[in-house]
Structure 1
Amino acid sequence: IEGVDGGTGPNAIPREASAVIVTSTERWPDVKKSLTACFEEMLRECPLEIAATLELVEDPSASLVESPFTVESAGKLLSLVEEAPHGVIEFEEGTDGELKTSCNLGVVRSTERNGESCAMVHVFPRSTSMEAMCSLGKDFTKLGEKFNAVNESNLCPFPGWEPDRNSELLKVVASACPVTSDPRIYTIHAGLECGTLMSRLLSVKECVSIGPTVKVRVAWGHHQLHRVK
């Protein structure tokens, strides 16, 4: 592996990824066949909501230069990505499937650290509970130690935001909702800016997030119909 580049931001669901793989001309047909088979197997095991494609581009002019990744380090990178906690981690107890803790594996990219080539895997944990966030951070530290990776925490921090069902502000907003007489009140990981605002503005005691109505989730090309804070 000479390079990897996947995802656009830590808080966005990755839309595409690419990798540069260097091999000899003689082995290329077998490598191409193997990559195609792996991609087809992935689609069978994990059906996607949108169409996914694999594009293999051959560059005969490329030379077998020294790769920034050894076979061992490339294997560690792939294993780390596979084992990293990703998606829904925990649901809120006593609710109808509302999220408590989740983690988005948003970016995997070749980069440099202290003048040496390496890869960066950016995960973005979110939770209503700071305790759950700290616990997830410890899991990532252990994962980093397992694969000789450095865990840099709080690169994009979002503090936990505990739901307050008895909030007076929530009652006012619900009664003023023009869309329906019975607005749906629930917890999703798209309004956690409230936790950031409340941690900075100490005089703010209550905060709610209205909207957004989003299609295709938080992904590239999503259609945002409205968003009010």
Structure 2
Amino acid sequence: MQQLQSLQAAPVWSFFEKICAIPHPSKHEEQLTLWIINWAAKKNIACVKDKIGNLILTKSASTGFESKTPVILQCHLDMVPQKNNDKVHDFLTDPITPIIDGEWLRADHTTLGADNGIGMASCLAILDDDSIEHGPLEVLITTDEETGMIGAFGLEANALQGKILINTDSEQEGELYVGCAGGVNVNVLLPFEKMESDISENAYEITISGLKGGHSGVDINLGRANAVKELASVLTNLEGTPFLISSLSGGSLRNAIPREAKAVIVCDEQYYNSIKTVINTLEVSLKDKYRASENNFTVSITPCSLPGSVLTHTSHNNLLSSLDSCVNGVFAMDDNFPNVVETSSNLGVITQQTGAVNHFAIQVLVRSQVDADKHARADLIAAHFKQFNGRVAKEGNYPGWTPNTDSAIYQIMEIQYETLFAKKPKAMVIHAGLECGLFSDKYPHWDMISFGPTIKFPHSPDEKVHIASVDNYWALLKATLKAVE
């Protein structure tokens, strides 16, 4: 990334390049954790790893700033591992390859990890540069944020001394975030029974691939297709033809809109051509339906090996009915903030598990700025799957972050932004889970804010960060730290 080294935010890009070179998908952050610990030791920066795996780094105030209010910079270690289906990449061993694409930086057909790698890089860059003026400073780097905010849940109440927390995990330059949605997982085990396949019949794999996917919070209002939901709809439209499902799966993360899904069906060979015709027709219809939001997906059917078993007729019908009729997407918009979703759900993952008990494991993530509405939506989805004998558990509940209209750090950042860029920033809430909501339970005295550069399509291989926005983000971060009283 040599072209980026001459920009104002060159220190940030330098650290981000190092972060990209070290694999750090969720639940596999050990290599990056060790690198940061060793780097801090070489720089004589105090670094503590807590019981859950969070890192807390501490730096003394600049000369003359010793009496300033202590500040905590906060980011998370992990990145979402997503790739296109034709991309060969092992997130446990392979580095991320950043590519400069005009005004943007993206990866080579994988997630980039700008969420939250740019924020992490900026925190390390602040610690690294003794010329940047600031008061007493702590940097909190949480572990395993993307799969359930594990580090934030496990943070001890007396671990930090700061009074202001600046979260670096927002994704639109020019906006200062003062609130976020809470979330809860609806986990379903949908039982099924199976029977032997008829050896006189043939098997076919039906696949939906090439959808854009994206973040199930910030991208949920973009009208993108959910591969699991659309596959269920396609199969439902084949019900005029006698077939049975053998397997069905789709999605990989509860907080990412599913980009791909596939099913293996078994039927008599005489029906293949008619099924193929229907699927081709449905593909055309879906492309018309999503012409404004999707541009490169396919619905395909190909012959495959005959599996040993299929679902019984009752299990087949239960599966399709439960998926096809499950509510999904935007439920309500926020009246207080334009174009911000208030309540949504994402049917993110379905996997098939066989053993002593056979079931489909389904993960739905419900988000809302309103706690009561979050639980009402989750209860609605739970009741829906219980109709089909699903065993349902609501898990991983985390609170939203209620906006503080009297926030001193917001006022400081607003002044600094206007001074730097001759315009006011927007006060916003985000329809995503920021760790601030969890922090407010354990540190109710903290004055918190979240901001970041412009990052588009996180949690998908289309993820990209706007290069110039990182310059603005870096300038505002430094100016803010200096301005804190």
- TM-score, scaled relative to structure 2: 0.42
Residue aligning to 1:189: 431
User: How far, CA to CA, are the matches of 1:180 and 1:109 in structure 2?
Assistant: 51
Larger RCO (CA under 8 A, 6+ residues apart) = 2
Q: Provide the secondary structure at the position in 2 that maps to 1:219.
A: coil
Pair 1:198-2:440 in alignment: yes
Residue aligning to 2:409: 169
The answer as to whether partners of 1:126 and 1:158 remain within 8 angstroms in 2 is no
The answer as to whether partners of 1:137 and 1:153 remain within 8 angstroms in 2 is yes
User: How far, CA to CA, are the matches of 1:7 and 1:123 in structure 2?
Assistant: 11
Q: Provide the secondary structure at the position in 1 that maps to 2:353.
A: strand
Q: Provide the secondary structure at the position in 2 that maps to 1:22.
A: strand
Task: Give 1:9 shift.
Answer: 0.5
Structure 1 counterpart of 2:247, which letter? G
Pair 1:58-2:309 in alignment: no
User: Deviations 1:190-222 (Å, cap 9, x if unpaired)?
Assistant: 3522213333x3345332221352223543331
Task: Indicate the RMSD between aligned Cα atoms, in angstroms.
Answer: 2.6
Pair 1:107-2:364 in alignment: no
Q: Between the two proteins, what is the percent identity of the paired residues? A: 24
Residue aligning to 2:18: none
Task: Give 1:170 shift.
Answer: 2.2
1:63-212 → structure 2 map (5 Å cutoff): 63=306, 65-67=308-310, 69-112=311-354, 115-154=356-395, 156-177=396-417, 178=420, 181-199=423-441, 201-212=442-453
The answer as to whether partners of 1:102 and 1:127 remain within 8 angstroms in 2 is yes
Q: 1:22 aligns with which of 253, 257, 266?
A: 266
Task: Give 1:10 shift.
Answer: 0.7
Equivalent residue pairs, number: 223
User: How far, CA to CA, are the matches of 1:196 and 1:65 in structure 2?
Assistant: 47
User: Deviations 1:168-189 (Å, cap 9, x if unpaired)?
Assistant: 2322233333566311221222
Which structure's CA Rg is the greater one? 2
Shift in alpha-carbon separation, 1:73–1:170, aligned structure 2, 3 A: farther
Structure 2 counterpart of 1:35, which letter? I
Structure 1 counterpart of 2:357, which letter? E
Q: Provide the secondary structure at the position in 1 that maps to 2:266.
A: coil
The answer as to whether partners of 1:13 and 1:220 remain within 8 angstroms in 2 is no
Pair 1:220-2:461 in alignment: yes
Task: Give 1:8 shift.
Answer: 1.6
Task: Give 1:39 shift.
Answer: 2.6
Structure 2 counterpart of 1:45, which letter? K
Structure 2 counterpart of 1:172, which letter? I
The answer as to whether partners of 1:12 and 1:220 remain within 8 angstroms in 2 is no
Residue aligning to 2:247: 3
User: How far, CA to CA, are the matches of 2:248 and 2:422 in structure 1?
Assistant: 47
User: Deviations 1:44-99 (Å, cap 9, x if unpaired)?
Assistant: 2333333111232212xx236321x2233223222222332322211222332322
Structure richer in strand, relative to its length: 2
User: How far, CA to CA, are the matches of 2:449 and 2:283 in structure 1?
Assistant: 42
Q: Provide the secondary structure at the position in 2 that maps to 1:151.
A: strand
Structure 2 gaps of 5+ residues are: 1-244, 478-485
Structure 1 gaps of 5+ residues are: none
Shift in alpha-carbon separation, 1:206–1:103, aligned structure 2, 3 A: farther
Structure 1 counterpart of 2:253, which letter? G
User: How far, CA to CA, are the matches of 1:4 and 1:56 in structure 2?
Assistant: 14
Shift in alpha-carbon separation, 1:176–1:218, aligned structure 2, 3 A: farther
User: How far, CA to CA, are the matches of 2:313 and 2:406 in structure 1?
Assistant: 55
Shift in alpha-carbon separation, 1:189–1:27, aligned structure 2, 3 A: same
User: How far, CA to CA, are the matches of 1:180 and 1:131 in structure 2?
Assistant: 40
Shift in alpha-carbon separation, 1:165–1:52, aligned structure 2, 3 A: farther
